[in-house]
Amino acid sequence: MKTLLLPLDERPCNYVFPQMIGNSNSEIKVIVPDRNILGDKKRAADAREIELFLINNAADCTNIVMSIDMLVYGGLVPSRLHYLNREEALSCLKVITKIKSKYPNVKIYAFNCVMRTPQYDSSDEEPDYYANYGYALFRRKYLLDYLERHGLDEQQRTELKKIKIPQEIINDYEHRRTFNEFINTEVVNYLASGFIDFLVIPQDDSSPYGYTAISQKNIINQIKNKNMDMKVMIYPGADEVALSLLTRAWHDHKGISPKIYPFYASVLGPTIVPLFEDRPMFESLKSHVRVCNAKLTTDPEAADFVLAVNSPGKFMQDTYEKEFDISYSSCRNLPDFTLQIKDYIESGKPVAVCDSAYCNGGDIQLIRYLDELDVIDKLISYAGWNTNCNTLGTTLAQACIGGSVNLHNLLYRIIEDGCYQAVVRHEVTAEELPKMRINDSDIAPSLTEAENIIRDRLQKHYETLKLSKKHPVKIKNVYSPWKRMFEIGMEIELE
């Protein structure tokens, strides 16, 4: 299978991870644009170069996995900052009809994000005014939506009255949302017309109330009116969707639909609503499994693999937090969960791990338990980064596409999600960045020094695991694509 991939942006999670997972299967070849034409964070990709890449490479491809945000706006962050008019945006979409008309047998799997509304003050990935009015924009619409659906109590009404945002900022922000929702609708029309074969509309940083919830409702109504419910899916996520669609493309190509048996680390796990998402974990799991064209089963013996979901005990916390709630131990039996993983592996059943106990990093205690039991290198997949849905889509893709243990990808995830996100990132932020007089959202002034410190600390932390004696790894290079601590890319070499 030869897949043409137009990624969401140039970060490793969107550009490198699909290649890594695709390369773990000898029957898959993933073709990507040159990194230089994909833009850089707030700088949009070259629209003409993107169109030429698609047109010039579509002829002999089996399918295309396509980010509409990259195609129309030049990337995820530019989708929130652009000054396009509707004619310019619609012109970018026309490349889809050109490809489908010329190569009707090439399947197009597309995704187009619902514009997010972050719950904090920062212009790092948003318009400049979000630095001062970000949380206020989110909270104001959250309360207005809650008012319309349920009514507000006195405390909430008082809070709403105190929120002061200049009207021109509200107008600009809502204009951007209306524009992006218009593109969401147009893409649904492309699906209805047969130019797109399958569509995902993911919600980046979603919430049960407010702007994203309203957009979701509007889009769902349009989809239902067009009877497109079975050909489009809407659920929390963003940076993992290309992986999920690559997995679906593979399953469609092979005519297979694997069966997956999930089990959770806690009784309440399936019902917990993760941070930055709008629904219980099990509801997201159902969406992710279906978008991959796989199936859930209640019988582990009938499953192609077991999915071990490391859920919180009662509610989710961020790895940045210094104190973890007692429910992580009182409402979750992590040793038992880990022993169950070992039992499945020893019985010959492949196991993938979705490490979603925390957001923004893996559960280092789980990794240490798995290390003690000597089963990490027997997992067919592991992920534990950013949001629950980012993690879920990544581990499912590797498990379905790779099929068996791919040591390079497995160790990469243990080092990146566990060692970096859960430990080294926080250590460097607290201990090293103050010495360099920089902060975690902008390490550009001392970029090389910071990257080298991260690399050295990662190497030392990985070597605290028994796994490192069995599978020595040299971390050759660490880089920060957006010059911040939030994410890294790596080059690792298994020695």
- The rounded distance, in Å, linking the Cα atoms of 385 and 420 is 10
The residue type of 400 is: C
- The rounded distance, in Å, linking the Cα atoms of 351 and 304 is 9
Q: Which fold has domain 2-118+168-254?
A: Rossmann fold (3.40.50)
- The rounded distance, in Å, linking the Cα atoms of 219 and 481 is 33
Ordered alpha helix ranges (H), 24-162: 47-57, 68-73, 78-81, 86-102, 130-149, 154-162
Q: Is 296 exposed, middle or buried (0-12, 13-18, 19+ CB in 10 A)?
A: middle
Identify which of 205, 175, 213 has the alpha carbon closest to the alpha carbon of residue 76. 205
* Domain locations along the chain: 2-118+168-254, 259-405
Compute φ and ψ for 120, nearest 5 degrees.
-155, 165
In DSSP terms, which residues pair with 263 in a beta bridge?
Answer: 308
- The rounded distance, in Å, linking the Cα atoms of 340 and 351 is 10
Q: Which fold has domain 259-405?
A: Rossmann fold (3.40.50)
Identify which of 399, 235, 374, 239 has the alpha carbon closest to the alpha carbon of residue 308. 399
Question: Beta strand 381-383 with 489-494: parallel, antiparallel or unpaired?
Answer: unpaired
pLDDT by residue for the chain (495 residues), tens only, comes to 999 999 999 999 999 999 999 999 999 999 999 999 999 999 999 999 999 999 999 999 999 999 999 999 999 999 999 999 999 999 999 999 999 999 999 999 999 999 999 999 999 999 999 999 999 999 999 999 999 999 999 999 999 999 999 999 999 999 999 999 999 999 999 999 999 999 999 987 778 899 999 998 899 988 988 888 888 999 989 999 999 999 999 999 999 999 999 999 999 999 999 999 989 999 999 999 999 999 999 999 999 999 999 999 999 999 999 899 999 999 999 999 999 999 999 999 999 999 999 999 999 999 999 999 999 999 999 999 999 999 999 999 999 999 899 999 999 999 999 999 999 999 999 999 999 999 999 999 999 999 999 999 999 999 999 999 999 999 999 999 999 999 999 999 998
- The rounded distance, in Å, linking the Cα atoms of 40 and 78 is 9
Angle, alpha carbons 319-323-328 (nearest 5°): 75
Maximum distance among all alpha carbons in the chain?
63
Q: Which residues contact 276 (CB under 8 A, 6 or more apart)?
A: 205, 206, 236, 359, 387
Q: For residues 114 and 216, is the Cβ–Cβ distance under 8 A?
A: yes
